Amino acid sequence: MYRRLQWTVISLAGALAHADVNADFQQKFGDTFLEAYWRMNPDAAIVAGYYKVAGELVVPDARSRDEQHQFLKEWLSKLHAVKPESLDAASRSDWVLLDNQLRMELWQLDEQRAWQWSPDTYNVANSFALLLNTEYAPLDQRLRTVLERLAHVPAYYAAAKAAIHNPTREHTRLAIEQNRGALEVFGADLDKQIASSGLNSRERALLTQRIAAARQAIQDYADWLESLDAQLAKNGQARSFRLGRELYQQKFAFANPGGISAEELFHNAQQERLRVLSKMEALADELWPKVVAHAPKPADRFEKIGQVIGKLSNDHVTPDRYVAYVRDLLPQLEGWVTDHHLIALDPTKPLVVRDTPAYERGVSIASIESPGPYDPGARTYLNVLPLDTLPLDQAESFLREYNNWMSPVFIIHEAMPGHYVQLIYANRSPSRIKAVFGNSSTIEGWAVYSERMMLESGYGGNAPERWLMYWKWYLRSVTNTVLDYSVHALRLSEQEAFKLLTQEAFQSEKEATGKWRRVQLSSVQLTSYYAGFSQIYDYRERVRRQQGAHFDLKLFHERFLSYGSAPVPVIVELMSGTCHCNRE
Ligand code: ZN
Ligand code: ZN
């Protein structure tokens, strides 16, 4: 009895010491580090829903880059003063994430150097738009924050001009377009907000004056870029938009820590393309008599599949009905998820379907707008573009793409149980570090995974039409990976890229044009869909095989999402009860 008591005391003391280490870690990095991080990055803070430093605007000059550098080095050394082996699994994976994040930001400053060659890095509009359109505080308080922030805009653009050196023409033109668009944020709507506010006349005068100066600085920056672009066009020596193999591989590794290499994923995607095309061909053969009927069947596989898809695309609603169609779809998807025990939903966080607000209307037909980790109580919206606001031919081309066979798959991805459900679980995750430094491959991968999982559960009644459309949609993710790597690391030409997208992935001319533009302006991001999906799907299949009859799909999904948006390999280690730190 005595002995046992002593054992109890000893193990209790051990547990307490252990808890202290983890609590210390969370306090130092989950709180103190993040507070300091937001002071260094007020724009990112606003996006995360942290408004304490919203009045600050960092002037992107050499001094601030030095400070950033200093800051990252300092926190890296503080992080490495903690031995990851001493932490529990949850904190250890935070340690891994933070280590990756800090090293990535140093790499961006020192190696990637987009601050030099990517003039679209500089644009003040987004943070101002968020402050003006998010009701996190009364209007007067938000306008005073805007007033404070505006003071730095002219210095901001002066520093931008000084930083830019031999940019790409593609990013230069994007910066011109986006900064001209930014002028809208400082236009008539803002004047109306000021008129309806309780600001005194002195504040109003100062605000009016600073808005004029900001508009002037933005206009001047766009004009300056315009003449720089003309010069680049003339001397023909602009930097290439292609990242090059070495930088690409490094960037990919930061985006997918602990996982697959860029080259490996590229090879997997190429093989996956061929598998998907065989499935599509079999479905096209099956559907041919029903859908195309008497027309002669082409020998060319791409043409045959394309014709069946073309016929199925006729099946869509009218432009004025689309928002209502999506609104009706949601409860149907929710019901399916619950009835088929796929994952627990949170009835206290209803998703609101609305017309995309005018200032956010762009290229996307629907998207989730969700609160950041500091404001998890705020509403989540599913913005849907009101198609009757578009010219008829544009609306028709959207609707042929988002037809009745395709749209449910798309809404599964965006909302139920895709992005919306994942974000609710992520915001609930106890780790603020994981919520803040969310991994794109995990986030996009989950959405792509949820499409497959819903169809596998029988949603859509296993209709061959639905599956064919699903494979077309999924082929897009796979092709994105092939395209991104081929363009940035293997110098794929524009002509070859168009052939890959239109002839071999059934994309419209318009979609392919948009994709070509996107791959010129971004890198690695396009791989996140397939990178995340393939890792999640492979892991699920592994667990299913191991657990056999005991495998519980609902429990698997809930546990997987409970770790927040950590990289898939980190989640896998946590779910298996080990951390990859053990191997180091
Ligand atoms: Zn997505
Ligand atoms: Zn490690």
Task: Please state, in angstroms and rounded to a whole number, the distance separating the CA atoms of residues 316 and 537.
Answer: 31
Q: How much of the chain is in helix, strand and coil states, percent to nearest 5?
A: 70, 5, 25
- Distance, CA 288 to ligand 2 centroid (Å)? 53
Tell me: pLDDT of 378 over 80. no
Is the domain of 111 the same as that of 127? no
Question: What is the domain count for the chain?
Answer: 3
Mean pLDDT in residue range 252-266: 95
If you search the block for the tokens 């003309």, which residue do you land on? 230
Q: In terms of Cα–Cα distance, which of 239, 428, 437 is closest to 345?
A: 428
The token pair at 483 is 């395209």
82 CA → ligand 2 middle, Å: 12
Same domain, residue pair 8 and 113: yes
Across the range 234-253, mean pLDDT stands at 94
Closest ligand to Cα 451: 1
With pLDDT > 70 as the criterion, what percentage of the chain qualifies? Answer: 94
Residue 240 lies in a domain: no
For residue 51, being part of any structural domain is answered with no
> Is 296 contained in some domain?
yes
Instruction: Tell me: do 328 and 452 sit in the same domain.
Output: yes
Residues 67 and 138 in one domain: no
Strands of the 366-369 sheet, one edge to the other: 351-355, 380-384, 366-369
- Same-domain status, 159 and 114: no
Whether residue 408 sits in one domain with residue 518: yes
Q: How far is the CA of 94 from the centre of ligand 2 (A)?
A: 10
Distance 548 CA to ligand 1 centre (A): 31
Tell whether 98 and 15 lie within a shared domain: yes
Q: What tens digit of pLDDT does each residue of 552-569 get?
A: 999 999 999 988 889 999
In angstroms, how far is CA 75 from the centroid of its own chain? 26
- Tell me the C-alpha distance between 213 and 195, whole Å: 19
Give me the residues near ligand 1 (ion), CB cutoff below 5 Å: 444, 447
Given the DSSP bridges, would you call strands 351-355 and 366-369 parallel, antiparallel or unpaired? unpaired
Boundary of a domain, candidates 72, 96, 118: 118
Answer yes or no: do 13 and 111 share one domain. Answer: yes
Ligand 2 center to 581 CA (angstroms): 3
End-of-domain residue from the set 103, 118, 133: 118
pTM: 0.90
Place of tokens 């404001």: 375
The answer as to whether 110 is a domain residue is: yes
How far away, in angstroms, is 509 Cα from ligand 1 center? Answer: 22
CA distance 116 to 119: 7
- The Cα–Cα gap between 342 and 540 comes to 14
Q: What pLDDT shows up at residue 584?
A: 36
Note whether 392 and 530 are same-domain residues.
Answer: yes
Which residue segment(s) compose the domain that 79 sits in? 2-40+61-118
Residue 250 inside a domain? The answer is no
How much is the mean pLDDT over the chain? Answer: 91
Cα(86) to centroid(ligand 2), Å:
12
Verify that 267 and 171 share a domain, yes or no: no
Within a domain: residue 556?
yes
- The winner for highest mean pLDDT among 145-149, 173-177, 398-402 is 145-149
Q: Does the pLDDT of residue 255 top 60, yes or no?
A: yes
* Protein residues placing their CB within 5 Å of the ion ligand 2: 96, 581, 584
Whether 80 is covered by a domain: the verdict is: yes
485-515: per-residue pLDDT in tens?
A: 999 999 999 999 999 999 999 998 888 998 9
**In 538-553, which positions are buried (b, 16+ CB within 10 angstroms) versus exposed (e)?**
ebbeebeeeeeeeeeb
Q: Helix (H, G, I), strand (E, B), or coil: what is residue 368?
A: strand
